[in-house]
Amino acid sequence: MLVLGDVAGSEATTEGSDLVTVVELEESAPARPPRRPRPSSLRWGAALTLGVLLLLLLLPSDDSQPRPVLAEGEVPPPTDGRLLDWPGRGPWAADEQFVGEAIQAWRDTAREDPDVEPPGDEVVPLWAGPVADAQMTLLQSVGADGVLRAAYVSDMLYGWLQPRLRLLATTRVAGSPDFFVFPFVGPDDRRGQLDPDVLSTFQMLPSPDVRSGDLRVLRLEGTRVVPVELRDDGLSEPWAYGRWWIRDEPEIAVIVNGTDGSLDSVVRLDPDRLLPAAPPISLVEPRWGLDDPYRPEDYLAGAAALASVGAPSGDVAVLGSTSTAAGRVSLVHIEPGGLTRSRAVVVLTDDERTTVSAPVPMDPQAQVVIGTARTREGELLVAAAASPQTTLLTIDADSDVLATGGRVLATVVPRSAGVQVVGARAFTGDDSAADRAEIAVGGVDAG
């Protein structure tokens, strides 16, 4: 969040946190006492006023001289190989005057604030143009210290339009990010006050890999994953993430493979940073390994599993997921921070809700894991997962086989069955050796 700071007038950028405190109030000079005009002064003043009016009528207006609009490929690529090889985008990326003013704002702040590293000789716009009522650009440059930085320059500060462009944030850039993100509060209130009901908003500048469709960015909205829509001007469509003074939940985005939808990475969007950060929940591989890549739904299941034990962060491994008539079923291994033993839960997600079973102890060396939960109708859901080497998995109830299948299996046991113990058996290779896990049905709690 860009924080409104000291009214006294200093501009400061804290690069470590991408936080900027930039407020400067310009005081007007004391007014001089009025003088009594002479008659000749009135005549000359009237003539001068008439001349100025005629001159203004003859001069072209600002509306007839719009900023130059970017044509694809008009901004030359960077010559420094350390810069991001991204095309300059945005309707004003070719406007040398606007980009020059933004570069000067960066240099001016660096001259006044020793914590801000000035740009180098080559400064390239990644994007430039209007955003809502504001003007904004993202610049990149390699400083004298050899570090690549991106700089966010705008005339919007915390929902207030400023009289000039200001450096709002800088960040070090390592590697090629999937996107930059711009948090802002809007819309602007022309009276210089913030509407208490206004929403904080994120907007994204995607990398060429995202623009091409090789990667896609989705954001989590409750228990759903929602695509981030891209616009023709190079930015994404903005989306609100909550009231500007409330941050109950972190904003999570997932990057997926554009071809098969498999999960590439998970990141947290920070209102104080231009680049995404590490999420509070780490989705790790099971000890026995993965046979298929994770999907975005697996992160949702892992987050629900940790939340069920009151852990805001930790490591989760989805042992297996499958679809049933009752909904999507995931068997999740959780290791919240501070716990001395591993536990497993069943996460059942349908169109209306997510149900998490009570956690049960899990042997980290086990080759097969079983869990149970109650469906919305109160029936017993049994889920089992085994290592990728499994060739056959069975679920039984009171020694009677109920279901057989691959390494991930789930089945619903009717309430009328009256079973006492359910189990799962995993076979590998020639089926001569089987690993078994079982659980007592009594006291099964949906969590």
**Per the domain annotation, does 257 fall within a domain?**
no
Residue with tokens 């240099």: 107
pLDDT for the residue numbered 228: 94
**Per the domain annotation, does 150 fall within a domain?**
no
**Per the domain annotation, does 180 fall within a domain?**
no
Structural domain total, the chain: 1
Which residues are CB-contacts of 216 (< 8 A; sequence separation ≥ 6)? 210, 227, 255, 256, 257, 258, 261
The span from the CA of 254 to the CA of 217, in Å, is 6
Q: Tell me which long-range contacts 282-286 makes (C-beta under 8 A, separation of at least 24).
A: 282/314, 282/315, 282/316, 283/316, 283/317, 283/318, 284/315, 284/316, 284/317, 285/317, 286/317, 286/318, 286/319, 286/333
pLDDT for the residue numbered 223: 79
The span from the CA of 272 to the CA of 144, in Å, is 25
Phi, psi for residue 353 in degrees, rounded to 5: -160, 170
pLDDT for the residue numbered 376: 85
The span from the CA of 289 to the CA of 291, in Å, is 7
- Give, in degrees to the nearest 5, the angle at Cα 148 between 144 and 149: 100
From the list 275, 70, 69, the residue with the least C-alpha distance to 152 is: 275
The span from the CA of 158 to the CA of 129, in Å, is 18
The span from the CA of 165 to the CA of 270, in Å, is 23
Structure tokens at 358: 């009570």
**Per the domain annotation, does 342 fall within a domain?**
yes
C-beta neighbour count of 67 within 10 angstroms: 16
List per-residue pLDDT tens for the chain, 447 residues long.
232 233 233 333 444 444 443 433 233 333 323 333 434 443 434 444 445 444 444 444 444 345 555 544 477 888 999 999 999 999 999 999 999 999 999 999 999 999 999 999 999 999 999 987 789 999 999 999 999 999 999 987 666 667 889 999 999 999 999 999 987 655 444 334 445 555 577 899 999 999 999 999 999 887 789 999 999 999 999 887 765 455 567 789 999 999 999 999 999 998 778 999 999 999 999 888 888 899 999 999 999 999 888 888 888 999 999 998 889 999 999 876 555 567 889 999 987 789 999 888 888 778 899 999 988 888 889 999 998 888 889 999 887 899 999 899 999 988 767 788 888 999 887 655 678 888 877 655 434
**Per the domain annotation, does 100 fall within a domain?**
no
The span from the CA of 273 to the CA of 438, in Å, is 48
Whole-model pTM above 0.85?
no
Q: Are strands 179-186 and 343-349 parallel, antiparallel or unpaired?
A: unpaired
**Per the domain annotation, does 92 fall within a domain?**
no
What is the domain extent for residue 305? 280-447
**Per the domain annotation, does 148 fall within a domain?**
no
pLDDT for the residue numbered 132: 75
**Per the domain annotation, does 311 fall within a domain?**
yes
